[in-house]
Structure 1
Amino acid sequence: MTIPFFQVTAFSQSVFGGNQACVMPMEAWLSDELLLRIARENAVAETAYLKRLDSGVYALRWFTPDLEMDLCGHATLASAHVVLNHLEPHLDRVEFDTQSGRLVVTRSEHGLDMALPNRTPASAELPLALAESLNRTPLEVHLARDFMLVYASQKDVEQFVVDRALFDRTNLGTGGVIVTAPGEDCDFVSRFFTPQATILEDPVTGSAHCTLAPYWGARLGKSVMQAQQLSARRGALRCEVKEDHVQVSGQATTYLEGTVHMNQT
C-alpha cells in the first residue's frame, strides 16, 4: 500500500520557520493504531490525514506522536495548502469535517484564512504541580482547552522555562499550557508547552489562538491583531475575532513531497 505524503511548513514563508506538519491524503481510514504509528514515524509535531468526501470537502483528522487531537491549527493550514496547491489547485476554498465541526479555509491576501472555534478563556487556578514547575509566576491564569498564563512582557515569555520533571507530573489530555504577553513588534506573543508529550514545546500553535485572540482582543480593544509565536522556529499569525468564530491566517509552503510505502508489519 502506498500513501501520498506532503511535509508542509505552516505560519512561515521559510521552510526553516513555522511549524511542520505531514499531510497524508487517503481513500479510506486506516486503523487508529496504525494512524498513530505513522504519526510517530513521521516525527513532527502533527500528522494530518485527509479523506476526500467531495470536490473541496474533506474529512480531516490530526495525530501527534502521542494521541489524536480534537483540533490542530497549523496542520489544518498545512492541509488546506496541500488541497489548494497540489490536489485541487483550481479551488480557492476548502472545507474540512473534523472533531471540532466543519472548518473552512480560503485563500486571501494574508495567505490562508482559517475559521476556527472561539475558545474564550475564563479565570482559573493553576494546579500546584504546574505552578511548581514554572521559573516565574504569571500575573493571570485562564483556562479554556489550554491553560493560559499571562505575563508582563515579551522578555518574560522569551525567558520562560519549565522544570520538565515537575511539569510532566500533570496530564492535560489534548490540552497544554499557553504562555503569553504583549508583543514588542506585534500585538501579542506566545509560546506553547504540553506536559507528558514527546514534543515539549510546539513551534507554532494555531489552535492556541482560538483562546489568545478573544483574550487579547478584549484587553486591547481590537478585533484584528498580529501575533508571533516565539519558539526557536518562530511563526507569524494574523488573528481576527469574528462574531461566531476566530479567523487565524498565515502562510504555508511545501518542504517535501513523496510517497509512503506501507507493509503494516
Structure 2
Amino acid sequence: MIAYSEVSAFTDTPGFGNRAGVVLDASGLSEREMQALAAFLDAPETVFVTRLSSGAVRVRYFTPSQEVDFCGHATVALGLMLAQNGHWAGEDLVLETLVGRIPLQLVCDAGVPSRVWMKQRLPEVRAVPRSLHADLAEALGLDVRMIHRGLPLAASSTGLWSVFVPLLDSVILDGLEPNLAQIRMLSEALDVVSVYAYTPVGVNRFAARDFAPAVGIPEDPVTGSAAGALMALLAAEGKLPVRNERACGVVFQGHALGTPGEVEVEVEVRGQTVTAVYVGGCAVLDREGVWKREV
C-alpha cells in the first residue's frame, strides 16, 4: 500500500488552485507504477519522492499520461507536505529534478507552514515566427487582431517550455474557445509543453490560461513554472516595474475552471538580464489515501 496526499496549490482553499498528487515515499516504486498511480489520482501532476535525505530531495513528476521534467504547483504542494510531515523545518532544501537542482524556501506564520518559494532555472527564450501568430490566435479561437502588440509573444522556459500569447483584455481571455487539436499540433511544432494566454489586469498583475494537450492536460488550472517564465520574459523586455533590481508580480489563473489561484513571482534583474526567478504560493491539504500496488 502506497500512501499519497492530494493537495491544492496556489490557494489556501481546498478544491481551488491546482490539484497535485504527492507521494512522500516512492523509493520502491517502478516507473510503470508511478505512472499508474498518477493516472489513478488523475491530478494534472503528481510528484514522487524517490530519495529523501538531509538537505536534498530527489523527485519525479508525472501527468496522468506521461512523465514531465518539472512542475511548479506540485513542487509547492510537496514543500507543504514535507513541512507538515516533519521532514522540513525551514532549513536549506534542494529538490533534485530532471531540470536540475531547485532550491526551496519555507515561510511560516506563527510557526505554521504557510507558503513555499522555489528558485527556478534562469530563463531561456526563443522567438516565435510571425507567420505562426495568426495560427496561434486561430487555435485559441481568436482573430489575430486580439493579440496585444505591446507585450511579448515568445516561447520561454524556466523549467518547461511554453508559448506566451498576450491578449488585449480579460474579456477576451475568459471567452477563449481553444481548438485543442490545433494547440497540440502547434505545441509539438514549436517543441513546447503548452500555449499560455495572458493579459494585463494591473501594473504588475496578469490573468492567464494555460492549454497543454500535448502532455495530456486540456487546460492547466494554475501553472507555477509558466508564471515564472512569463514574469522573467516581461522583466527582460522592460514590461514590469523594477525597484532595487527586483521586479514583483502576481498571476491569477484558474477562474475559467472555477478553481481560482494566485502565483507570486519575484525576478532579480540587472539591466535587461534576469539573474534569478522565484515563484511562491500557498497550498492546502485536500485529502489523503492509500493506493494498492499491483501484485
Q: TM-score, normalised by structure 2?
A: 0.81
Aligned partner (choices 124, 129, 145) of residue 128 of structure 2? 124
In structure 2, what is the equivalent of residue 48 of structure 1? 47
Deviation of 1:113 (Å)? 1.2
| Contact 1:56 1:88 (C-alpha < 8 Å) held by counterparts | no
In structure 1, what is the equivalent of residue 168 of structure 2? 152
Deviation of 1:200 (Å)? 0.4
* Pair 44,185 (structure 1): closer, same or farther in 2 beyond 3 Å: farther
Bigger mean CA offset, 125-134 vs 249-258: 125-134
Partner SS for 2:171? helix
* Pair 16,192 (structure 1): closer, same or farther in 2 beyond 3 Å: same
Aligned partner (choices 215, 237, 243) of residue 263 of structure 2? 237
Q: Which has the higher helix share?
A: 2
Identity over aligned pairs, percent: 25
| Contact 2:204 2:240 (C-alpha < 8 Å) held by counterparts | no
Bigger mean CA offset, 239-248 vs 26-35: 26-35
Q: Distance in 1 between matches of 2:275 and 2:82?
A: 25
Any idea what the Cα deviations from partners look like across 1:49-85, whole Å, max 9, x if unmatched? 0023412421011100121111100001111111111
* Aligned residue type for 1:224: C
In structure 1, what is the equivalent of residue 3 of structure 2? 4
* Aligned residue type for 2:155: L
| Contact 1:179 1:191 (C-alpha < 8 Å) held by counterparts | yes
Q: Distance in 2 between matches of 1:82 and 1:41?
A: 20
* Aligned residue type for 1:112: V
Bigger mean CA offset, 53-62 vs 96-105: 53-62
| RMSD between aligned residues | 2.3
Where do residues 57-68 of structure 1 align in structure 2 (5 Å cutoff)? Answer: 57-68=56-67
Deviation of 1:3 (Å)? 1.7
Structure 2: give runs of 5+ residues left out of the alignment: 109-113, 269-273
In structure 1, what is the equivalent of residue 178 of structure 2? 162
| Contact 1:238 1:248 (C-alpha < 8 Å) held by counterparts | yes
2:49 is equivalent to residue 37 of structure 1: no
Bigger mean CA offset, 133-142 vs 207-216: 133-142
* Pair 129,65 (structure 1): closer, same or farther in 2 beyond 3 Å: farther
2:219 is equivalent to residue 220 of structure 1: no
In structure 1, what is the equivalent of residue 271 of structure 2? none
In structure 1, what is the equivalent of residue 115 of structure 2? 111
Partner SS for 2:153? strand
Partner SS for 1:220? coil
Aligned residues: 263
Q: Distance in 1 between matches of 2:33 and 2:260?
A: 31
Any idea what the Cα deviations from partners look like across 1:9-60, whole Å, max 9, x if unmatched? 1000001210000001225253322221211111110010002341242101
Deviation of 1:185 (Å)? 8.8
2:193 is equivalent to residue 175 of structure 1: yes
Partner SS for 1:236? strand
Partner SS for 2:102? strand
In structure 1, what is the equivalent of residue 139 of structure 2? 133
* Pair 174,98 (structure 1): closer, same or farther in 2 beyond 3 Å: farther
| Contact 2:90 2:107 (C-alpha < 8 Å) held by counterparts | no
Q: TM-score, normalised by structure 1?
A: 0.89
Where do residues 200-219 of structure 1 align in structure 2 (5 Å cutoff)? Answer: 200-217=218-235, 218-219=238-239
Any idea what the Cα deviations from partners look like across 1:144-186, whole Å, max 9, x if unmatched? 2111101121222222221234334445366111101101596
* Aligned residue type for 1:251: C
